[in-house]
Amino acid sequence: MSDLFLGAPAHHQEEPLPSRRAHQRGKARKAKERRSRRRRSLVVLLMALALVGGAAYVVVSVLGIDFSSTSSQKAVTDYPGPGQGSVDVVVATGDSGAAIGATLQKADVVATAGAFTKAFNANPAAASIQPGTYRLFMQMKASDAVSALLNPASRVSFKVTIQEGLSVKEILAKISTATGIPAADLDAAAADTAALGLPAEAGGQLEGWLFPLTYQVEPGATASSVLTPMVAKTVEVLTAKQVPQAKWEDTLIRASLVEEEGKSPEDRAKIAQAIQNRLDIDMRLQIDASLAYGLGRPGTSLTNDDKLVDNPFNLENRVGLPPYPIASPSEVSIDAVLNPTPGDWLFWTAVNLDTGETKFATTLAEHNVNVAELRAWQKANGK
């Protein structure tokens, strides 16, 4: 009984609490498990990234994408030059500096259209860049590209020079030789005068309307594209000189005769007046060059029998002008017709075939003296 009051016996004492060391070991174990889980997650993440990166590498390799190059190209606004390789580019009629720049950027001649436009605006001569095809380096400095377009040596084209006094037949042959355009193509284009823009006043006859000048013929040009500007140039000249449209054909007919008969501008202006003087009195013009054209032969091969031929171009036995021009006259001859030198001459003849010196007369007797001088010169020179 006394034990009940004195306290519980020894074998009934409470269980002791877990030790601090055991508690710490539990915490360490949980921390280790957390670290292990983090490491496993990190490994999985790295493996996933590696897989994604590997797939991206394969795509880039297959497609040939160079991101570093692309980003560097975006940063380039102007190439340093001088350039490499070559490429042909076309400057169209009416192209502005910005339009040319866009064409050059597309062909990789310049880095940006903006750089070219800036260089174009900084060069006072740039406005004179002509339409045409140019062969340029690729990746040029913009200012160098402007200079190249101003250099005629950069043009990829043929130069065709049409001399004064040539007939359509002679002009077409010259164009074919210079450009390689087949003669048959040129003949077909010359026959389609409406497509060439030939004015109605010409009556469908192209003769005299192919203006004598040097023309640039671009690669791939067609027969029509070569002949059309020649007709347009004749219209431009007549319009600029304020010739009434109703007199365009008459002016070209007279100018073609003057072209064949005179050499110097002074002589041509006198011949134009002498022609008008003869027409005023219904006197035959007697111009051998017209007869030769009608016969399709050189004037030096004419005979007295040829002068009896019934031919609309035979001005030996017909009064008035030929039905249409006999050649393409120069601007000098057109000016002579529009501004003839006042005078009462009815006759003219060259007295020196080498220099073209020409003498004029108002009477047949005076003219015969001049003709005798010509014959003497011919005898002395074997001509």
pLDDT at 27: 60
Does residue 108 surpass a pLDDT of 90? Answer: yes
Rg (CA), the chain: 46
pLDDT (tens digit per residue) in 195-240:
999 999 999 999 999 999 999 888 888 999 999 999 999 999 999 9
- Cα distance between residue 302 and residue 288, in whole Å: 8
**For residue 224, what are its two tokens?**
């029509």
Q: Which residues pair with 159 in a beta bridge?
A: 216
The predicted pLDDT at position 67 comes to 45
Q: Quick one: which of 254, 274, 279, 269 has its CA closest to 340?
A: 269
Tokens representing residue 68 in the block: 């570093």
Highest mean pLDDT among 83-87, 239-243, 316-320, 377-381: 239-243
Is the pLDDT at 32 greater than 70, yes or no?
A: no
Q: What is the mean pLDDT of the chain?
A: 84
Domains of the chain: 77-154 (3.30.1490.480), 158-240 (no CATH), 245-381 (no CATH)
Nearest CA among 322, 211, 336 for reference residue 263: 336
Mean pLDDT to the nearest integer, 35-64: 52
pTM: 0.69
Cβ atoms within 10 Å, residue 138: 15
* Greater pLDDT, 163 or 306: 163
Question: Which of 174, 139, 137, 138 lies closest to 158 in space, CA to CA?
Answer: 174
The structure tokens 């084209």 sit at: 157
Least confident of 154-158, 228-232, 268-272, 299-303: 299-303
Question: CA nearest 158: which of 90, 233, 226?
Answer: 226
**pLDDT confidence bin for 156, thresholds 50/70/90:** confident
Q: pLDDT band at 92, cuts 50/70/90?
A: confident
47-51 contacts at long range (C-beta below 8 A, 24 or more positions apart): none
Cα separation, 177 vs 181, whole angstroms: 8
- What are the beta bridge partners of residue 217? 158
